[in-house]
Structures are given as C-alpha cells and as structure tokens.
Structure 1
C-alpha cells in the first residue's frame, strides 16, 4: 500500500479524531504504549508497526478457490440468489441468503417474490437445504424459506436483503438468541429487526424501523461486538441525498451506528478510509474477526464500469454479455470483485486498494456484474490435509443473474492469513511500537522456506536488546505453523519476566511471512 507523508498522516489523524465518536477515540494507546495483553495481533494493518527495514514489506494474500458449496437451483431460488450470512453455531454451520430468480439478459427480470432461505452444514463444505415447512410456494410448504416478502404488521417487507447472526450478548434473552435485519419498503421504510429462539421461527422485535436514515439497497448488517459490549450496524447510505425520493442519488457510502438494545441507535457516522480513493462499494461484510474480536474486518464488493473494449469482448460468454448490455450497458460491462479492509474503532478503516478476491480464471459464470460478492463472514473449517490446523473458509458468488441458478464457491485461507509482513531471501526486519503484554510465551503464526527463518529480539523501550532475549540468543524459527513458540538459547520459550514491562519486538526474517502473534 502507498505510504503517506508523516505530516499528512498527523493532520488526517487530528482531523478525523475531532469527528469520531468517543468510543472510537478511546482506542489510542496511553503514553504511546500499546497494551496487547494476551490477545492475537494481526498484520492486516500497520497499527503495531514502528519500522520495516531491509526488504520487508506488508503483503496481501488471496484465498484459494475450492469447490462449489451450494447451487441455488430450487424453483423458489434462482440466478439472483445471494447476500449470504454464514456463521458457525455449535457443531452446525448455518447459512441464510436471498432466494430470487433474475435474468439480466431478459425483459422479464422477476419470476417470483424475493425470499430468505436457509441451509446448513456439519463441516462448512457440504451443505443441505432442510425442508422447514414454514411458508408456501406454488401451493407447497416443502421448502427452506424462512422469510417472505410482502406486508407484515404495517411493514412492506423485502426478504431479499437479509442479514442474520447469532447474538453472542451474554445477557440476551432466550427468545432472541438469533437476530435478523431486513428492509421495509415504502411503508415504514428502513431496517426491520427480528428475533428468534432457534434461527428458524421469527418474530418482530419492534413495530417501527430501527434505522431509517439510509438507502439500504444492499446487504445491511448488524451484530454484537463482544469487545466493546454493544451492537453495531453497517448499512448503505447515499451521502448527497436530499430527501426520500432522492435516497438512491449521490455518493455511495457505508454508514455505521451503535446500540445497547438493538432498537435505539446512536453515534451515526459514515465510514472513513485511510489512503484509499473514493470507489463504488456495493456491500461491506464487516464483522469482528472471531480470533481477534478487537479488529473489525470487512470484505466490500468493488463495482467498476469498464465499458466496451477489445478486452471486454474477450471475457467469457460474449453473447450473454451483449444481451445483458442491451437491457442496460452496466449489466454487460460492469465488473465486481472483493476487497478487504480493517478497523480498530469501527469507523476508520484501512482498506487494501488491491483486490482481495479477483474475478479469477476466466470461465463460464465469471467476470460479470454481481460475481464475487463475498458472504458475511469467514468461518473456521477443518483442513483436507491430515494433521494440518484448521483454516478459514470464505464463500463468494458466481453465475450471478444468468440462467436458472447462481452458485456459491468456497475459498480457503490459512488462519489469520489475510496479510503478512514478508521478507525475501535477501532479508528484512520488523520492529514493533512500544508495547506491554501478559503471558509466558511468544507465539507466532508464520511460514518460511526451507532455507528461510525468523529470529526474534526483545528490546527495551529505548530500543536496546534485553539480555537473554538478544538476536544472538534467539533460535532460528522455521517451518509453517499457526501456533509456534519462539525459543531463546538461555531462557527457552519463557518470557514471563518481561510481563508488564515496556518492550519492543524485533523480527529479523528471510524468505518468510509473519501473519500474527500473541503472548500466552
């Protein structure tokens, strides 16, 4: 990512701080010392980095495409199915999604109302659509529909923009262990809140919209923040809109707010970015990362209108692309992909400007508008390699608005593997800012070549090596592991004597990646 001058960064920080809520401003470390405690710290941002030297750089990593996880080919589903919510609930993985048939190349775009449907899995890889028997479609209740569009207690409900989550608030009532946010249209326009004891049977939480200031024409999210002990919402907002009739005009923004009870929301702010251009972002997919919940990670979909060109005509399915463009040029020539961004206060985000999930190798069903919309959010799944640690599974759409069914493909990434500090064989080093910690061992999530390694030196706050933890006394750490304790020749892995003291960590690396670290 591009560097900005120090003076510019300070000015931006002071300007943004004046407009951030108090809860966001409190994350600044006291006396320039960061207390990491025993929490996991990632290098998805540069929050902990004081200096990179040699040829060390921060590096973005891309997920690996795997199998098609689910095909939305039921009669009540279709090519417009998307906006997936995915989370693990005990031993079961749960998925909620928009079920809709839409063909961008046809004059007839809507074949049935929008629904929200449910699927589940025991491993996050193989998914089933249970027969719930709740709502009627074509005279039968043999389907997996959990929400339907239409009038409901004064709302004009749109079931096609669902966001569903399990509420981890320790004080949540049993009848509200699961919550959902849907859209209401012209009648009582805004976001509508639902609750459920089982994730299947739902009732309204309030007879009024919980948030009304927005456009909402995307997947609008809300969840429990376990670190700050509050609910947080993110939704689509048009910053230059002048009234209800103009709510879809202006600059597309992501807006956020917090709540103590899921009904009353405060501290509304547009999300702001550090060193990123203004771009069309269609979804946000923000949530606290389950392994490091003090960090919010988002996967917004970037929308780009490329227009007709020689390269556009070389992309897959030209005939279909031309038919789509005949309905609206952007249907045929706009492209979408997934980005990644992170925040430590929920308002100011560090966004990688390069794609996190590119449209991928050209094949039927790819490189079109609506593809590569990532599901909300990542989950841990078992590796298919015996003895390997768990990995992250991510899910993203394909074949959108084509034929009779859209697809959801699974991708994998190592735990915490979004980004790393990387050094080539020529070497490089990372020095952290001054920090304090709690724990007996320093644990690394890293990868090296057979000839590569990482050595760790612990410095005092003035930058001098601490006896027993100097570079010469550090053992070489090499391999590929998510949970390896650093070893020193005299003290072994024990760093307990340094707990609570102001220190810096110096990582000297060659042909290696460092993804995250923690003290335990």
Structure 2
C-alpha cells in the first residue's frame, strides 16, 4: 500500500514511514535540555500544589494557565477554611521570561492584587484546561475554550474572547468515571472534530490502572461515546495526564507527553527525606510512596496510540526534591521559541515550598531520530507519493559524518540519476537542508509517483523530511 504524504512535514517520531532499519541504524529517542526556572510558584495562592499547566501561543504572546493551591500549614488538610484551588495566569513575549500580571479580577484573602482568573467552582479551578481556537469562522467571543470538572460534576465547557474573562456554558459537556487529572481539549484537523482526552480507569489483571480515553464532537455540545485509547502491545502503565495536542509543525500528528505514575515505588533514603524537608508541615503529605516521570506518545488519528519508546522522555534528574510523587509533570503545550527550537515545561518540586515550573528545550522535530554511528547504517522507507519539487531534511552530522539519499521506485529499484553515489554529500547541522544529486537539483519529475527513499547515515541523525 502506497502512503500519500503530500507536502507534509514527517518527523520520525514513530515507524509510520520506516520499512527497513538496516545494520548499524537505530530509531533513537532524544531528551530535552534543562534550561532553568521559567516560573516560580512563590505566591501564597500558588503554593506547592501548583500544577496542571497549559501554555498557548496567541500570535506573539505566550499565555500560561495553571492551578494555584497554596498549603496552609496552620490548618489540617481537610479543615474548613483551608486554601482552595484557583486558576492563575502568566504571560511571556518569548517563552523564556514570564510575567505574572496584576489582573485585579479575583479576590484572594481580601485582596484582588494577584494573577488569578478564576476562584471557583473548585471542581473547575482544580483542573482547568484551555485551548486556543483561532480557525477561520470561529466566533471572536469564543476564541478561547476550556474544560474543567471532575467525576462528580462531569466536564463543563468555558469560553472567552480574551483568555482572561471566562464564562461557563450551560449543561454538562461530558460525563464519565474518572476526570481526576488534567483533561484536555483540542481541534483535530485530521478528523475535523474537537477531541477531548480525559482520565479514565482500566482494569488490568485486577488492578485499576490510570488510563486515557477520548470523545469527539463537531459542536462541543454533542459528544461521541467514550473510547479507551489503544496502546497496542505496550505494557500497561499508569498515565496520570495525557498532555497531547497536534504537533505545531506537523498537525496531522498528535504528540503527547503524559506523566507516568509509579505507585509503590520509592528512591529516597531517610537521610534524603530529612534533607529536603519531606515531613515538615510546609510540605504536602502525599509525596512519599510513588515516583513520576514523563513519557512520549504519538497518534495519527483514531484511538490507536504509539508508544514507540517505552523509556522516559524527561527523567526526574539529580535533584532529590523531584524524586517524589507527582513531580516532573509536564505542561500541555510544546511550542516554538525560535526557528530551530521547541520549548516545553515541566513542574518540579511538587508539593514543596520551592515548587516551580522549568523550561526545557528541544531542537525542532527533535523528539526522535533515525541514527547511525561512525560505521554507518541504512534506512529504507515505505513506498509513498509526494507533492513538490524539493526534498528537505532536518539533520545533524559530526564533522566526519554525512547523510546521503537515494530515490527508488515502489519496488526498490534505484531511479537513474538519484543513486546514493550521485547524491551530494550532506554535512552539517540544519533543520531545513535541501537534497541534490549533481545535475538533478530537484525531484519535481517524481512528484505523484510512488517512490521509496534509501538513507545512508554515518555518524548522523535524521529528524524529519519534507517535500515542498
């Protein structure tokens, strides 16, 4: 069967295009680089339980929404008058430096000098998750949409014109058992529907495992029956969040960074627990007895989800404060912060007075690559058709390394003029490198015809391809 990729960007985050990985070639997961504190949760209404972060790009403005939930050590956790969760807001012009504006919208402990946009109901502010719906034809009064709720109330829809002033829409949107997480909503251009991904539970050999389900809607009023996501042959794991949305540079692919939760697993010694103040009144009492990190999932529509890589995408790291339950939970939103860079954000030091949001960086399409060492390796794609006249690659080599490309017909026969030997050697580190074959400066004559690509890598990584 021939795949049609048109002029879409195809990052190698899954095995969709890969037919053969020859000797010496591997499909490798990459890991984002830690860039330091993006936002400290240092206000009393934010506190140690700040979490469930969403980041949206609205033109040249980055908008951040998150739960604030300060711990009052003078009161028992469930006492009447203990602080309740609120929804907070921050913004940035570059995705690096963040500002908490004094909005004056909501009162907290007698003052409205804060960055709070919602103070209730609790079921919503605890898990408020927005999206930006800027498609043509969408009412300006509903550019921003959000869902919030829990298993008791169901998920409700909220809308806003400016992302700051929100109105709840009447009626329950989605009912079900679960929702004890950051449930998310997005427009899926492949399925031409709104998709809500939400927490559910699945019975696996008698254990109630935290799972992800989905439902779809054309109008945000009528929703399809819930369906569990299908992770194929991947072993079941507790996925506490989904954090999935269409990838900004390839919106036909859903990329998610769920928080993986490991109940009953512990790494800290009693001495380390004492050093980080694990059992002090200012620290959330629910941190011991579980660990968390971040994994990578992808989907090309429907309920099937690929877990091509089972290892962690973001590890807890060297800081003992992050080896506790519910730390290392990623934000929803992987966004470009330059032509070559993506930024993602992870909550650290959860439940502790030092809680903060960290920025991490990744090269564009840099989630995974086709890779080979110094001895080299080859990869052959499945047969596909394309549109355009130029083949461009996101690639990186060492000074001694290289990438070469051969074009074959659907049966694997080399096309004259497009042999590996004719390909001009590609050396360097570029996100948009044009491929040429001597006098053959383009591939326009091959557009619309079934072809395969044979890549020859030497001490190199190939992150994505695109025809234009």
Matched, 1:120 2:85: no
Is this contact kept in 1: 2:30–2:368, CA < 8 A? yes
Partner of 1:88: 57
SS of structure 2 residue aligned to 1:46: coil
Matched, 1:370 2:370: no
Unaligned stretches of 5+ in structure 2? none
Matched, 1:398 2:362: no
CA RMSD of aligned residues (A): 2.2
SS of structure 2 residue aligned to 1:396: strand
Deviations 1:291-334 (A, max 9, x none): 0011001111111135567x64475655633569x996x62131
Partner of 2:145: 179
One of 109, 113, 116 as aligned partner of 1:145: 116
Q: What is the CA distance between 1:478 and its match in structure 2?
A: 1.0
Partner of 1:334: 290
Between stretches 498-507 and 169-178, larger displacement belongs to: 169-178
CA–CA separation in structure 2 for the residues paired with 1:58 and 1:159:
41
Q: What is the CA distance between 1:106 and its match in structure 2?
A: 8.7
Is this contact kept in 2: 1:214–1:235, CA < 8 A? no
SS of structure 2 residue aligned to 1:497: helix
One of 312, 324, 334 as aligned partner of 1:355: 312
Partner of 1:221: 184
One of 454, 457, 461 as aligned partner of 2:403: 454
CA–CA separation in structure 2 for the residues paired with 1:308 and 1:65:
23
CA–CA separation in structure 2 for the residues paired with 1:127 and 1:327:
26
TM-score (norm 1): 0.85
**Equivalent residue pairs, number:** 462
Give the 3 Å change call, closer, same or farther, for CA 132–55 of structure 1 in structure 2: same
Is this contact kept in 1: 2:150–2:178, CA < 8 A? no
TM-score (norm 2): 0.94
Is this contact kept in 1: 2:182–2:198, CA < 8 A? yes
Is this contact kept in 1: 2:284–2:351, CA < 8 A? no
Q: What is the CA distance between 1:226 and its match in structure 2?
A: 2.5
Deviations 1:437-495 (A, max 9, x none): 00110000010010000100000111111011111111110100000001111212x10
CA–CA separation in structure 2 for the residues paired with 1:267 and 1:418:
32
Q: What is the CA distance between 1:353 and its match in structure 2?
A: 0.8
User: 5 Å matches for 1:95-174?
Assistant: 95-102=64-71, 107-108=76-77, 111-150=82-121, 157-174=123-140
Q: What is the CA distance between 1:148 and its match in structure 2?
A: 1.5
Give the 3 Å change call, closer, same or farther, for CA 496–166 of structure 1 in structure 2: same
CA–CA separation in structure 2 for the residues paired with 1:314 and 1:472:
61
Q: What is the CA distance between 1:162 and its match in structure 2?
A: 1.1
Is this contact kept in 1: 2:403–2:455, CA < 8 A? yes
Between stretches 470-479 and 299-308, larger displacement belongs to: 299-308
Give the 3 Å change call, closer, same or farther, for CA 203–464 of structure 1 in structure 2: same
Partner of 1:442: 391
Give the 3 Å change call, closer, same or farther, for CA 381–161 of structure 1 in structure 2: same
User: 5 Å matches for 1:174-253?
Assistant: 174-183=140-149, 186=152, 189-205=153-169, 207-240=170-203, 250-253=208-211
SS of structure 2 residue aligned to 1:451: strand
CA–CA separation in structure 2 for the residues paired with 1:393 and 1:92:
14
SS of structure 2 residue aligned to 1:518: strand
Is this contact kept in 1: 2:48–2:284, CA < 8 A? no
Deviations 1:350-399 (A, max 9, x none): 11210000001235x321112110000101113xxxxxx43000100111
Deviations 1:170-218 (A, max 9, x none): 22111100001111564xx10010111111111122x211000131100
Is this contact kept in 1: 2:337–2:343, CA < 8 A? yes
Partner of 1:519: 467
Structure in which a larger fraction of residues adopt helix: 1
Matched, 1:258 2:216: yes
Q: What is the CA distance between 1:239 and its match in structure 2?
A: 3.3
SS of structure 1 residue aligned to 2:445: helix
SS of structure 1 residue aligned to 2:111: coil
CA–CA separation in structure 1 for the residues paired with 2:39 and 2:77:
25
Give the 3 Å change call, closer, same or farther, for CA 293–332 of structure 1 in structure 2: same
Partner of 2:358: 409
Between stretches 340-349 and 282-291, larger displacement belongs to: 340-349
Is this contact kept in 1: 2:35–2:361, CA < 8 A? yes
Is this contact kept in 2: 1:104–1:331, CA < 8 A? no
Unaligned stretches of 5+ in structure 1? 1-31, 151-155, 242-248, 383-388
